Structure 1
Amino acid sequence: MSISTPGGPERRPTVVSTGKKPAAGRPAAADKPAGGKAGAGKGTTSRPGAGGKGRKPIAPVKVSQGRSWGPIALFVAVGVLAAGIIGYGAYAAIQGSKPWEKRVDAIKGVVDYRKKDKDLVVGGKHEQGPIKYDILPPVAGPHNDAWQNCMGDVYDAPIANEHAVHSLEHGTVWITYRPDLPADQVAKLKDRVQGKEKMMLSPFDGLDKPISLQAWGYQLKVDNADDSRIDEFIKTLRVNASVEGPNAVCSQGITATGTAPRDLGGNQMPQQPTQ
């Protein structure tokens, strides 16, 4: 309704809010949003194609599936392996730097006759004929002028102790075994000896263990050819145990088998190099 005032334009009445809520279900005319259904303007996101700028698409949230333990376990395993290799290398370097006399002491089961009987291990005692040995197989003591050939020789029958002991004096490792040792075990011993200078192999009757190793003044007895101490004994004492120096020869010795010594005499054997 318009109200006229004298001399002036019509004025619309001012709507004064009374604070009362409109009747239920009938919104006040002034509260209706312009040009659309109620609620059409709610929010700030416009519909696509409505001509307004909408919000940027929200990136999808990645849901964690937990730790991947496979790569972690592999990394740890590689680390442990590397640490083990480095540790073993350091240990081997330390062990290798020790004098061979210290290294042989670390081989379990080795009997050191150099400590037990110093007179026994004095070299250069040459005698003719059969010699009685208290330790069998012998590891030192008097011996024949002629040595047993020890250029990686594999003997299929017993050899004379008197010649074998002379070979020990030159730095040889002499491996002996019971004649009834299984063939596969003998083959493993042959592999360690054949073609290697200052090594020899032969059967030996009456052994109290299947296998016995001798170097000048040292002995190790084991039960089978798979024992790792065999390799340690060879590595430590071959050449090192010589009392005539590393240049003592092993060639041109006795190659025959049989337990009776052959008295060839010193003049028939090659001369040892001067130390």
Structure 2
Amino acid sequence: MSMSSPGPERVPSTVKVGKTSGQGKPPASKPAAKPGSAKPGAAKPGAAKGGKGRKPVTPVKVSGGRPWGPIAVIGLVAVIALGIVGFGVYSVVKGSRSWEDKASDIAGVVNYRAQKNAAIDDQTHKDGTLTYVTSPPVGGAHNATPQNCNGDVYDAPIANEHAVHSLEHGAVWITYKQGLAADQVAILQKKMEGKDYTFMSPYAGLDKNVSVQVWGFQLKTDDVNDSRIDEFIKDTRVVAALEPGISCSGGNTTTGPVTAAATGTGMSGS
């Protein structure tokens, strides 16, 4: 029995099997990326490694608290400065106003000059007893001799005719109701201490406790402590003169009504 010689040895072919998906099947292959598309999370072309080229993050500024102390000081200084400037302007404007305006601004003061009453504006010298528009009078024809007005205090009524002449020279005449208490009369007298161009006397039939007058202006009040009395004296004394610069000395010093024939000797410049 003859034996055949073996043929060429067959080498079994090998089959390469990839990793399985866990179920014995190889995982499905991922679709190829389209040209021009980038994978999510992939670095952009041209981006440098190590984080270089990333968009810088703007730092957040944390502002500190405002310096309220210096701001308050500056504000206070500004307010004070404005106050000083405002007061200065007010003082200049107020100081430039006429005495007539100041007197008229005092509550209760009557400005008879503004009335342009011929009987009050009359400055002629006349003899004897005269009739006046107001009581006490604030102007009008008068006796040639004025009443002494260097802070003189009379304890009885004086003649209107002499008193009005003193008003013409810029004196302030303080009159008070007859029978006013002595302590209240003393308060009025103190307001005249050391002041020339002032005089004081009781007045019969006065409708208020006190009446203060210069030529053409009058203030009446029931209160001897009324601060308006002092303000009126300050704003009108001397400056209210129609014949300024004439002394209050050398005039009449008696009380009582003017005599029928009294002409007086007048005063220098009257």
Bucket of the pairwise TM-score, normalised by the shorter protein: 0.5 to 0.7
- Tell me the CA shift for residue 87 of structure 1: 7.5
Q: Distance in 2 between matches of 1:252 and 1:263?
A: 20
| Change in 2 beyond 3 A, CA 1:230/1:185 | same
Q: What RMSD in Å do the two structures reach over aligned CA positions?
A: 2.6
- Tell me the CA shift for residue 180 of structure 1: 1.9
Task: Calculate the TM-score normalised by the size of structure 2.
Answer: 0.64
Structure 2 residue runs of 5 or longer lacking an equivalent are 1-75
Once the two structures are overlaid, the 10-residue window that deviates more, 247-256 or 188-197, is 188-197
Give, as a single letter, the amino acid of the residue that structure 1 aligns with 2:266: M
Task: Calculate the TM-score normalised by the size of structure 1.
Answer: 0.63
Deviations 1:24-63 (A, max 9, x none): xxxxxxxxxxxxxxxxxxxxxxxxxxxxxxxxxxxxxxxx
**Number of the residue aligned with 1:269:** 266
Give, as a single letter, the amino acid of the residue that structure 2 aligns with 1:251: S
Once the two structures are overlaid, the 10-residue window that deviates more, 114-123 or 200-209, is 114-123
- Tell me the CA shift for residue 183 of structure 1: 1.7
Deviations 1:126-148 (A, max 9, x none): 11000112310000001101100
Runs of 4+ in 1 over 4 A off after TM superposition: 83-93, 261-264
Q: Distance in 2 between matches of 1:206 and 1:89?
A: 46
Q: Distance in 1 between matches of 2:178 and 2:258?
A: 18
**Number of the residue aligned with 1:144:** 143
Structure 1 residue runs of 5 or longer lacking an equivalent are 1-75
| Change in 2 beyond 3 A, CA 1:124/1:182 | same
**Number of the residue aligned with 2:42:** none
Residue 199 in 1 paired to residue 216 in 2? no
Give, as a single letter, the amino acid of the residue that structure 2 aligns with 1:177: Y
Deviations 1:88-124 (A, max 9, x none): 7765554232111211121111111111234134353
Q: Distance in 2 between matches of 1:132 and 1:165?
A: 12
**Number of the residue aligned with 1:257:** 255
Residues 127 and 145, structure 1, Cα contact 8 Å, conserved in 2: yes
**Number of the residue aligned with 1:60:** none
- Tell me the CA shift for residue 188 of structure 1: 1.1
| Change in 2 beyond 3 A, CA 1:95/1:131 | same
| Change in 2 beyond 3 A, CA 1:151/1:84 | farther
Q: Distance in 2 between matches of 1:203 and 1:119?
A: 27
Corresponding residue pairs, total: 193
Q: Percent identity?
A: 50
Give, as a single letter, the amino acid of the residue that structure 2 aligns with 1:108: A
- Tell me the CA shift for residue 154 of structure 1: 0.5
Deviations 1:151-186 (A, max 9, x none): 110001100000000000000110000122222211
| Change in 2 beyond 3 A, CA 1:211/1:89 | farther
Give, as a single letter, the amino acid of the residue that structure 2 aligns with 1:248: I
Q: Distance in 2 between matches of 1:85 and 1:257?
A: 52
- Tell me the CA shift for residue 216 of structure 1: 0.2
Residue 226 in 1 paired to residue 220 in 2? no
